[in-house]
Each structure stands twice: as C-alpha cells, then as structure tokens.
Structure 1
Amino acid sequence: MDRAQKADLVTELKGVFDKTGLVVVSHYSGLTVAEMTALRVQMHGVGAQFRVTKNRLTKLALEGTKCESISHLFTGPTAIAYSDDPVAAAKVSIEFAKKNEKLIVLGGVMGETELDANGVKALASLPSLDELRAKILGVLNAPATKVAGVLQAPAGQLARVFAAYGNSEAA
C-alpha cells in the first residue's frame, strides 16, 4: 500500500467514524475466509459493514472524531463493524461471536459514548430500528381498527333490526 492509498484509507475511515451511529471493535484471529465472508454477508443483510483495519492507520483516522476514545482498542488483529442503525452491527457481531469463539468483541462507540464488551452486548439485546418502527405502526393502527369496528357495529345492528322488521311485516 503506497502513501496515497494510505491517505485515502485514513480519509475514508475518518468519514466512517464521523457519520455512523455505531462502531464495534473486535478481534478476528483464527477466522477462516469462509467465516469472514459469512459474517460480512450477515452484516450486509442488516445494513452494516464489517472491515479488517490497519491499527496505525485507524488510530490516525480516529484523531479528532467523536470516536477517538476507542483508539486504545486497536491492538492485535482488529476489525470494525459499523452501521447507521445503532443496534444492527452490535446485534450481528454478538450473535456471530456466540456461535464462533474466534470473534471476540472488545467494545465500541455509539455516538460519543464508549462501550465496553458488556455495553455492546446490552445494545445487541435491544430491538432494531426496523422492529421499533413496526411496533409503533402496530400501536398506531390498533386504535384505528378498533374505531372502525365500533363505527360499523351500530350500522350492522340497524341493518339487522330493519331486516327483522321487514321479515315480520312480510309474514
């Protein structure tokens, strides 16, 4: 990697650290190519990214960003998972780490808040942004459905009364 490529990588990582909602740092030592590919596919499926990083360049990219507090995590074979959704990257990282002990979640940062490994696990237990949106829509739709049912009930009762009255006169 030449100097220009390194500068581009630092700039790109600085943008990632400035714009994303969550960054999860982990060690990946011992993962096979197939396992790394499977992890990347899972991350991509929820709108997150997983990337192996160069520690020295990552520390340079962290300087002056809101994520600067996690620079001490970048020792050894590190990778970052990041997403705009504050839960997606954490959820996939923790689920994958449960199935494969070679991926070790070290910590991360959400906004300006540094998280340790337990903080990332707690974050992963929360519902994702899409799940929360679905729950809110369900709550909003429930009253409308109930109102429509209540409004239709008297009309149905009136129709039955008129039908019964009509049947009694015909007889």
Structure 2
Amino acid sequence: MNRAEKAELIQSLAAVFADTSFVLVGQNNGLTVAAVSDLRRRMRTAGATYKVAKNRLATRAMDGTKFQGIAPLMRGPTALAWSTDPVAVAKTAVDFAKINEKFVILGGALGAQTLNPDGVKALAELPSLETLRAQLLGLIQTPATRIAGVLQAPGSQLARVFSAFAKKDAAEGGAEAA
C-alpha cells in the first residue's frame, strides 16, 4: 500500500467515524475465508459494514473523533464494524461470536462512550431500531384511541339519556291522552 492509498483509507475511515454512532472492534484471529465471508454477509444483511483495517491507519483515522477511546483495542488482527443502528451491529457480532469461538468481541464505542465486551453484549440484548419504532408508534396510538373512546362515551351516554326521556315523555303523553 503506497502513501496515497494509505491517506485515502485514513480519509474514508475518518468520514465513517464522523457519520456513524457506533463502532465495534472484533478480533478475527484464525477465521477462515468462508467464516469472514459469512460474517460480512450477516453484517450486510443487518445494514452494517465489516472491514479489516490496518490498526495504525485506523488509529490515525480515529484521532480527534469521538471514537478515539477504542484506539487501545486496535492490537493484533482486528476488524471494525459499524452501522447507523448500533443494536444491529452488536446483535450480529454477538450472534456470530456464539457460533464461532475464533471471533472475539474486544469492545466498541457508542458515541464517546467506550464499551467493553459485556457492554456490547448488553447493547445486543436491546430491541432493534425497527422494534423500538413499532413500540413507540403503539404507545403514541394507544392514548389517541383512549381519548377517542373517552370523548365518544359521554356523547353516547347523553344520547341514551335523551332517548330514555323521549320514550318516557311519549309513554306519559300517550297515557294522559287515554
């Protein structure tokens, strides 16, 4: 890799670090090509990116960003994974680590907050962004339907009361005429 290619890689990683909210660091020591391809496919399916980068270049790209706290993790054969949905990356990595013991999660960073492997596993247990959106929408819709029911109930009760009075008046009027 010549200097221009290295500078281009540093710039592209710096752009990634500026745009994303979560970066995971994993150690891929001894993974076969098939296993790495499987991990990349899983990450892509989850909307994430998985990249093996030279540690020194990745560390340079992290300098001055909110992710510089994970620079000490960049030792040995490491790889980075990132996405706009932090839970998707964490879930994919944790699930892959369960079936392949050669992939080890070293940690990650959620914004400026550095996470150890247990923090990444805790993040993986959270519901996905799509699930959270659906739950939030359900919470928003529930009060609206309750409000509609509450507003509708007094009207229907008043209608029943007026109907009862009308029937009573009709019955009394019919009895007085007889």
Provide the TM-score with structure 1 as the length reference: 0.83
State how far apart, in whole Å, the 2-side matches of 1:134 and 1:37 are. Answer: 32
Secondary structure of the residue aligned to 1:123 is helix
Secondary structure of the residue aligned to 2:86 is coil
State how far apart, in whole Å, the 2-side matches of 1:75 and 1:81 are. Answer: 16
State how far apart, in whole Å, the 2-side matches of 1:61 and 1:123 are. Answer: 25
Secondary structure of the residue aligned to 1:79 is strand
1:1-171 aligned at under 5 Å gives the runs 1-145=1-145, 151=152
Provide the TM-score with structure 2 as the length reference: 0.80
The Cα offsets for residues 102-144 of structure 1, whole Å up to 9 and x where unpaired, read as: 1100001110011111111111111111110011112223344
Bigger Cα displacement from structure 2, 19-28 vs 81-90: 81-90
State how far apart, in whole Å, the 2-side matches of 1:70 and 1:131 are. Answer: 28
Counterpart in the other structure of 1:164: none
State how far apart, in whole Å, the 2-side matches of 1:36 and 1:102 are. Answer: 11
Q: Does the CA-based 8 Å contact 1:50-1:80 persist in structure 2?
A: yes
Q: Any gaps of 5 or more consecutive residues in structure 1? A: 162-171
Q: Does the CA-based 8 Å contact 1:18-1:67 persist in structure 2?
A: no
The Cα offsets for residues 37-73 of structure 1, whole Å up to 9 and x where unpaired, read as: 1111111122111111111111111111111111111
Q: Any gaps of 5 or more consecutive residues in structure 2? A: 164-178
State how far apart, in whole Å, the 2-side matches of 1:70 and 1:52 are. Answer: 15
The Cα offsets for residues 69-111 of structure 1, whole Å up to 9 and x where unpaired, read as: 1111111100011111121111111111011111100001110
Q: Which structure has the greater CA radius of gyration? A: 2
State how far apart, in whole Å, the 1-side matches of 2:22 and 2:104 are. Answer: 17
